[in-house]
Amino acid sequence: MRAIRRFTVRPVLPEPLAPLAELAGNLRWSWNPEAHDVFRAVDLELWEAVHGDPVRLLGAVGRERLKELAQDDDFLALLETAQASLSSYLSEDRWYQREAGRNAPRSIAYFSPEYGITAVLPQYSGGLGILAGDHLKAASDLGVPLVAVGLLYRHGYFKQSLSREGWQEETYPVLDPDELPLSPLREADGTRAQISISLPDGPDLIARIFVASVGRVPLLLLDSDVEENPQHYRDVTDRLYGGTSEHRLRQELLLGVGGVRALRTYSRLTGAPEPEVYHTNEGHAGFLGLERIRELTVAPEGPRLDFDTALELSRAGTLFTTHTPVPAGIDRFPRELVEQYFGGGNSPVPGVPVDRVLALGAEDFAGGDPAVFNMAVMGFRLAQRANGVSQLHGHVSREMFNGLWPAFDEAEVPITSVTNGVHGPTWVAREVFDLAARYGVAPPTEDVSAYWDLVDSVDGGELWDLKRQLRTTLVEDARRRMVRSSLKRGFAAAELGWIDNALDPDVLTIGFARRVPSYKRLTLMLRDPERLKRLLLDPERPIQLVIAGKSHPADDGGKKLIQEMVRFADDPEVRHRIVFLPNYDIAMAQPLYPGCDVWLNNPLRPYEACGTSGMKAALNGGLNLSILDGWWDEWYDGNNGWAIPSADGVEDPDRRDDLEATALYDLIENEVAPRFYDVDADGVPTRWLEMVRHTLKSLGPKVLATRMVRDYVRQLYTPAAGTARSLNSDFRGAEKLAAWKKRVRAAWPSVRVEHVESSGVGDAPEVGLTMQVRAFVALGDLTADDVDVQVVFGTASADDVLNVAGETSMSLAESYEGGRYRFDADVTLERAGAFGYTVRVVPSNPALATVAELGLVAVPAVPGER
């Protein structure tokens, strides 16, 4: 029989146990050991049965047990300590209040399509979501006034299992919001708060708002599964990254447009300040800029500005972070579909001209496709500041999007970099913190930086025992997962006795776990199966591999890679040394990273934007073995792991894979394994531990999400807030900026560098001499105050290509009739070697974030004298 109605009955806690609900209701428990101790003490067996979910625990524990706990003085003392810790954490001043400064924003809105915070709130698919979750946790630890926005997916992403033949299979269990660590946002009369947006194919789309408390950070999640909606609207938030292009467009409209409306509702109901800065994590939430323009142009309660003024106001406070290094990773919609949604009477942003919307996402640059609407392109045009997620990825992004600023070399394309980081308290094993506590260092609050001073103090034998303990935990967890997976694949329990001896806590353990698109090359290690077998089964120096990863449900190519790996791991000859664990998620990752000695990453360079999994391993004393891509390209120093040589430039993909796989085998066989098994008389691999200590000291402070969030605050959030305030004070600043940009763009065709001359260095220039440069420029209808005339200099190649090392602004020397001027500057020759220079004119305004913002530059038609 089927139930005609389903609802969740909430537990009633005895008064002394009331703080349990507060602890369970704030996701800080997911990275707070004190809270974990409390929930374990409620009922350890039940805690493990509900897979560490406090909400489910409190719903399942019996009334008699609750009565016992309410009279247990030891438990109440434990609960009181944890509750006091949470209360202090939520109220005390932290780094942001102490050090961010008076110019830092009062509130920051962070938009992301997915969030990986804890396994009990499965609203993530991979690295983008995990990064977003770590961003929120680190912001909370630092006291950054962040409010986050996302969607609540009824089915999450998907659960992965394997068929008998090793083919990935997906299931989509239904999530009940009442069984999740969420609270509905309510109006003053107790009704559930809702937002709505207009869509062209029917009535308004309605979404209710749930709030997840991530420490000090509220996360607003929009849910369209409400009775008032027709079924196709209820399905908008059905699952993450599924459905047709139109389905995805609806999701992104709800995230961007609906997300801004949810923020307004949240501020109205709670008194929280309106955000000054809007950070969109990838292009999925880009429509938020259109809603902010609507508020400023046509909303009855708004200032009724013109579109260009509103655009400048919105851009000033918006930051766009791009995560993809490949065009295929960008959301692109048919132009006709976007026109259909924004051009009719039921536009999601009524009153915003459809032609201006279409122009924002148009690929109107060389090589672009005029038939598509590009969400990343719109993201750049609606944000004054943008960044990639590692130094190398910033370079790749500047190349990829150079078409938006074609007049500038790649180095000056206005996309900077903030390298990702990971949240230490989430990913560092508790045993590591326990070891530190024995040396007098308390568990971390805002950071784990106090641990780096300990690294050289910890006894080598004690450190090695810890790594073996973590390896043992991983082995035990992997065996349990292998049993469950094998039974689900259809194997009989009687066939699984071998799993009792699968993996070995004393064998060199290499981990590999990530999403499975082709460029991450899950199966590179299988290029020479016989050689891999020899490495796995070496009688003196064996290795073992723990592998996991999900392929997108629509990616049959990725599923074939998984099947190839599973079939190899099923081989009775090696199955005790290599395992593929299905359903990679946070719960699996938390014992996996600490339990591995080496973290393997072999993407096709340079397609790994950052790749933070290796950071998590490093924080637990793991050594990285990786292609120099993403963050590893930036921070590998020759002693904190190994770099797999990359066969860049080899056009044949099979040949490239063969070369890089051979390099991988050689490193494992000749360097990694020998160092791991080279032990002293006490069985301690001292040379290995030297690398572990160096890894912790050299990488530890860099790879933290707290470092990342501080970088965002200092380099991007605070400058964005400053610009937004300067334009927002009475809107005059934005009006002037919009008018100035319009005037500059109209006049720019008349801007020329007519003549350049230099003196002071003669025919035999030497280091230390000063060159005087004069530039005669025509500015047409512009004035000298509208531009910056610069000498740009650096090394020059044989064909006069300039490798820019610096620039110097020139001073106005003389004015002539007809809008002509002379500018002068001195340039000191600082280095020997080939030297080149040129002069350029760029727009100049204090409200611009970079010289390339307008994409305009004038340079000499013919090089001047040298």
Amino acid 616 reads: K
| Nearest alpha-carbon partner for 710 in 176, 84, 104 | 104
**Of 499, 491, 503, 500, nearest in space to 546 by CA:** 503
How far apart CA 164 and CA 491 sit, in angstroms, is 8
Q: Is the peptide bond before 406 cis (omega within 30 degrees of 0)?
A: no
Q: Is 731 left (phi over 0), alpha (psi -120 to 50) or beta?
A: left
Q: What residue ranges in 193-344 does DSSP mark as E strands?
A: 194-197, 205-214, 217-223, 277-281, 318-321, 332-334
Q: Tell the residue number behind the tokens 């290995």, with chain if given.
A: 688
Instruction: Report the half-sphere exposure of 263 (CA within 13 A, side-chain side).
Output: 27
Q: Compute mean pLDDT per 10 residues along the chain, 866 residues long, and list them.
A: 57 91 96 95 96 94 94 96 96 95 97 97 94 98 98 95 96 93 96 96 93 98 96 95 93 98 98 97 96 95 94 97 85 96 93 97 94 97 98 95 93 96 95 89 67 88 96 98 96 95 97 92 96 98 98 94 97 98 96 98 93 96 97 96 94 95 98 98 96 95 96 98 88 94 97 93 86 96 97 82 85 95 94 88 96 95 54
Which residue in this structure is represented by tokens 């915003």?
A: 352
User: Would you state the pLDDT for residue 831?
Assistant: 85
478: closest CA among 582, 614, 620, 566?
Answer: 582
Angstrom distance (rounded) from CA 620 to CA 470:
9
Q: Residue 813: which residues within 8 A CB-CB, separation 6 or more?
A: 774, 821, 822, 823, 824
Query: What does the alpha-carbon distance between residue 661 and residue 665 come to, in Å, rounded to a whole number?
Result: 6
What is the reported pLDDT for 689? 97
Choose among 468, 332, 322, 339: nearest CA to 398: 322
Q: Which residues contact 620 (CB under 8 A, 6 or more apart)?
A: 427, 428, 429, 432, 470, 593, 594
- Tokens 């976007």 correspond to 338
H/E segment holding residue 399 = helix 391-400
Quote the CA–CA distance of 736 and 57 in Å, as a whole number.
58
Looking at residue 489, its pLDDT comes to 96
Name the region of 766 (left: φ>0; alpha: ψ -120 to 50; beta: rest). beta
**C-alpha dist (Å) from residue 672 to 206, 273, 624, 647, 666:** 56, 53, 10, 21, 9
**Cα 301 to Cα 732: distance, rounded to the nearest angstrom:** 18
Give SS3 for 802.
Answer: strand
pLDDT at site 834: 83
- Output the six-digit token pair for 315: 């851009």
Give the per-residue pLDDT at 449. 64
Using the structure block, give the residue that is written with the tokens 């005609």. 4
Pairing of the two strands 277-281 and 194-197: unpaired
